[in-house]
């Protein structure tokens, strides 16, 4: 079983800001060698042997059987981590670490996806009560789920898949992973299927969130998820070669977008074109409330893909469709680690999450903008005040490295509508005079007074009529 990638570490540049450090380090539990043995994580570490026993409880095989199976793939496990992080561990010690961490993660995923429709057996009840009694409700319900989201706090998915296959049979892990991701991201179970084999949980979350919206909305998400990384990488980075149809020989090289941008920026003869091209990424529109005043309405998209952002311009009004998102205390940690994953060397992602965050930050300039998105069911505020949501998005740092091409077409369409006086004139009048019942009443009263005055003037000039 060959490993397909590395367990990335957060880049040192992202750790220079003290305000960001807390979003990348575990609070209660370590997964993998990067934070293993840290004193502040000793409490949950002491529970991990019990987690292994709970995982294999009821199985005919004993601990030694599962340990030996992990040892058989220890070379693939080592290849997933930086060599300096695993060099000090023997094969037995590293296999024991993986077995303990994977058992705890599997148990947590099992109990966190339980609902009233499932039949809970005694084994599952033992897992639930053991975690609650020995770790407490705070760690079990909140902190553990938060530490699972950290980029450099991960274990290979193929280790968990191997153990699940040995314990329950083939195919059980995919079902558990899909169920957990849907519950963790959407808060409900959906028929979302990840057909790729993600290296770790953060990559699995990223794959699900940036799936192609048009294919996901029609229920055909298998191909979208399978091709998401390949298409984005091919579009942005990989050069494409056209072949001669008769001989099959390379005929013309069509470089990827990233190569085009690099060549474009370094070309001395394209200074004027470069200046014009930069202008395309600068837009004058700003916040949600400003766009609302221009007659642009906000509507939620049901797909919940972060890429599902679209704009439709009507005769007077426009509609900006945005994905739904539940904002909680884990929102900042989730996005910060997804962005760190995108910024990692050799990451298959192309900055989709960073581009989404940058787009949303351009729309959210004050708590009133959050209020509008909340009322339109785009944001589900689980924090309390709109100001808390505003502060979370304001503090998420994309470091100016987001992909400017991601939502360029949507921005251009909004700007075109925004600049059209014919489309925004009536919308501005209605927004100014009908913002509340009082302004509407005053506006209608003014119109009535103007009509009465005009009538009086008419009958004064033409008394016989």
Write out pLDDT tens, residues 137-181: 888 888 999 999 999 999 999 999 999 999 998 889 988 998 899
pLDDT reading at 263 higher than 70: no
Q: How confident is the model at residue 116 (pLDDT cuts 50, 70, 90)?
A: low
The more confident residue out of 435 and 131 is 131
pLDDT reading at 228 higher than 90: no
Nearest to 222 by CA among 201, 194, 197: 194
Q: How confident is the model at residue 189 (pLDDT cuts 50, 70, 90)?
A: low
By the 10 Å C-beta count (0-12 exposed, 13-18 middle, 19+ buried), 161 is classed as buried
pTM: 0.78
CB atoms within 10 A of CB 151: 26
pLDDT reading at 3 higher than 60: no
Element (H, E) at 250: strand 250-254
pLDDT in tens, 282-299: 566 779 998 888 888 999
The more confident residue out of 57 and 219 is 57
Domain boundaries, the chain: 12-209, 236-279, 288-425, 434-461
Residue in the structure block whose two tokens are 């069911």: 377
Average pLDDT over residues 301-320: 86
pLDDT reading at 427 higher than 90: no
Average pLDDT over residues 213-226: 39
Average pLDDT over residues 200-220: 73
Q: How confident is the model at residue 84 (pLDDT cuts 50, 70, 90)?
A: very high
CB atoms within 10 A of CB 134: 15
CA 343 to chain CA centroid, Å, is 14
Q: Mean pLDDT in the chain?
A: 79
**Cβ atoms 20, 397 nearer than 8 A:** yes
Q: How confident is the model at residue 186 (pLDDT cuts 50, 70, 90)?
A: confident
- Cα–Cα dist 330/385, whole Å: 16
pLDDT reading at 79 higher than 90: yes
pLDDT at 425: 59
Contacts of 260 by beta carbon, 8 Å cutoff, 6+ apart: none
Structure-block tokens of residue 375: 């009322």
* Lowest-confidence region among 16-30, 174-188, 417-431, 449-463: 417-431
């Amino acid at each position: 079983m060959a490993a397909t990638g590395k367990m990335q570490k957060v880049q040192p540049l992202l750790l220079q800001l003290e305000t960001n450090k807390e979003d990348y380090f575990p609070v209660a539990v370590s997964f993998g060698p990067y934070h293993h043995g840290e004193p502040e994580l000793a409490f949950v570490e002491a529970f991990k042997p019990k987690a292994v026993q709970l995982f294999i409880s009821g199985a005919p095989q004993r601990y030694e059987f599962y340990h030996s199976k992990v040892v058989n793939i220890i070379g693939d496990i080592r290849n997933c981590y930086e060599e300096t992080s695993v060099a000090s561990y023997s094969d037995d010690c590293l296999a024991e670490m993986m077995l303990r961490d994977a058992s705890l993660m599997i148990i947590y995923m099992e109990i966190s996806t339980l609902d009233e429709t499932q039949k809970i057996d005694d084994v599952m009840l033992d897992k639930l009560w053991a975690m609650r009694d020995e770790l407490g409700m705070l760690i079990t319900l909140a902190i553990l789920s938060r530490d699972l989201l950290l980029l450099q706090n991960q274990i290979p998915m193929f280790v968990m898949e191997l153990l699940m296959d040995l314990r329950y049979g083939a195919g059980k892990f995919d079902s558990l992973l899909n169920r957990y991701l849907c519950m963790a991201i959407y808060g409900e179970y959906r028929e979302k299927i990840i057909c790729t084999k993600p290296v770790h949980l953060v990559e699995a979350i990223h794959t699900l969130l940036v799936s192609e919206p048009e294919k996901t909305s029609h229920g055909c998400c298998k191909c979208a998820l399978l091709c998401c990384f390949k298409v984005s990488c091919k579009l942005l980075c990989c050069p494409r070669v056209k072949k001669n149809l008769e001989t099959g020989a390379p005929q013309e090289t069509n470089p990827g977008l990233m190569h085009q941008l690099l060549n474009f920026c370094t070309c001395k003869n394209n200074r004027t074109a470069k200046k014009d091209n930069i202008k395309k990424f600068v837009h004058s529109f700003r916040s949600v409330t400003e766009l609302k005043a221009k007659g642009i309405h906000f509507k939620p998209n049901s797909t919940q893909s972060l890429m599902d952002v679209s704009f439709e311009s009507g005769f007077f009004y426009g509609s900006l469709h945005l994905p739904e998102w539940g904002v909680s205390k884990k929102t900042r940690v989730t996005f910060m680690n997804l962005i760190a994953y995108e910024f990692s060397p050799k990451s298959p992602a192309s900055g989709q999450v960073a581009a989404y965050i940058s787009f949303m930050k351009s729309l959210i300039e004050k708590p009133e903008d959050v209020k509008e998105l909340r009322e339109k069911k785009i944001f589900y505020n689980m924090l309390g005040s709109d100001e808390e949501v505003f502060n979370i998005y304001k503090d998420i740092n994309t470091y100016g490295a987001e992909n400017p091409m991601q939502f360029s077409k949507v921005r251009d369409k909004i700007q075109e509508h925004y600049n059209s006086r014919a489309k925004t004139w009536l919308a501005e009048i209605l927004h100014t005079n009908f913002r509340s019942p009082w302004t509407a009443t005053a506006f209608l009263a003014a119109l009535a007074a103007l009509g009465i005055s005009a009538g009086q003037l008419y009958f004064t000039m033409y008394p016989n009529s």
